[in-house]
Structure 1
Amino acid sequence: MSTSQVRPHPLSVTTPSDREVRTERVFNAPRERVWQAMTDPKLVAQWWGRGNRLVIERLEVERGGHWRFVEHTPDGVHGFEGRFREVSPPERLVQTFEWDGMPGYVVIETMTLEDLGDGRTRLVTTSLFHTTEERDGMLSSGMTTGLEESYRALDALLASGA
């Protein structure tokens, strides 16, 4: 079975505390390639927007660096942004995440990439919300579906060897 025929791994979404969402997904690519796909603006633009046009206005992958993405969807334009708190290539990013549609609701995201030793990488993201209500609102907003769509696009990008 070629890499492009490998079935995607399932996305696991759990709530380890009353203010957190934890997602876990395995990718069929080495950690360095997954890291590059997460941090190179040309690559991010190919998967993060779930197939919608995505404009990377800023992606300064360094402590204190600013990131801002604008997604153009059939129902409008959506801006997302944050700041990097920790950058430890190729294994860990800590950043803030905010959607223009709800200014002031800032999420702290911690992403780790674990090299599974067989050409696969486990990505784990823990999102810390200010309140349980904010966490539950994000979960009910379609977050899981959007993440699954983005990760399928990332699978395709990684399989292409880009």
Structure 2
Amino acid sequence: MTMTESDLRQRAARIRLACFDVDGTLTDGRLVYDGEGRETKAFHVLDGQGLKLLEENGVAVALITARRNAAVQARARDLGLQHVYTGVKDKGAVLVQLCTSLDITPDEAAHMGDDLPDLSALLQVGLAVAPANAHPWILGHVHWQTRSRGGEGAARELCDLILDAKGLRAAVLEQFGAA
């Protein structure tokens, strides 16, 4: 999908809920197992800061992932996220349910995902986003693709776009000491 910068910013300004896949979006997509068979994940600190900034500035954040993993729950707790859905088969259905419970429309939601299991959610939202290393089959179904790869700051790019489009950049910078 080709979109002008102005159209992208208009879509981003309407966002009240930002949903994120985990594997390949908040992580680099690799599955790492220890000697006991436990799965571990690495999350980027820039992405976490972006998720917190959205929440602090009135945009709800949700993690919606097909896999079940204790690391996802731990990261969500660390960030203070309330909306965490693991073991999800139909991400689009979960997203619509969440929109209903938050009394917002899917047009006011964004979803970032990297592969086919995200397609049902990407097709529902007002702002569909993929990281730079997303599978090519979903790229024709997103409004925007980040410069960064999943697990390397891609989620932060979306968070910053939303905050900036809402006119909140100066307030966020001021919160951290910029005049």
**Structure-1-length-normalised TM-score:** 0.30
Q: Which structure is higher in helix share?
A: 2
